Amino acid sequence: MDKQEMHHTLMAAKARKGISWDTLGEAVGRSPVWVASACHGMNSAPYEAARRIAATLDLGDDVIAALEAFPTKTWDQAIPQDPLVYRLYEIVGVYGATLKDVIQEKFGDGIMSAIDFEMEVDRQPDPKGDRVVVTLSGKFLPYKSW
């Protein structure tokens, strides 16, 4: 079972059972965003997490194995088109140089890791319309000189 088939199997089971990412995350003892990324085939799951995801969704060993496999992480569109994803791309475009400047002033020459990295999504109630809050947290990696 490759990652794509795994993804379709997981999404179908999740819909059939009516389980949300929050519930699944709780069942696994992990963040819902990370669980979702593993189910989308964009992160490999350690065995215990894979086992719990499969158990919660009544799926078998082939799904566990597919969840454990190391993914090749690629995406279809260099410039994303779906409006939700494009807005994130636009934020990188509009604020990229600003973020580089602010982060490097605070931390020195280096980057925020996208590997030693985690992310959460929250709903923040607001009378003028609720807000989506996305929190990115990555280890600062200083450039090495040698």
Residues annotated as catalytic are 87, 90, 113
Element (H, E) at 96: helix 83-107
In angstroms, give the least distance from the CB of 36 to its own copies: 5
Residue 128 as a binder of its own copies (CB under 8 A): the answer is: yes
Total residues interacting with its own copies, rule: CB under 8 A: 89
Residue 127 as a binder of its own copies (CB under 8 A): the answer is: no
- Binders of its own copies among residues 3 to 42 (CB under 8 A) are 20-22, 30-34, 36-38, 40, 42
Residue 55 as a binder of its own copies (CB under 8 A): the answer is: no
- The torsion angles phi and psi of 112, rounded to 5 degrees, stand at -90, 125
Place of tokens 């969704």: 57
Residue type, 53: I
Residue type, 15: A
Give the total residue count for the chain: 146
Residue 43 as a binder of its own copies (CB under 8 A): the answer is: yes
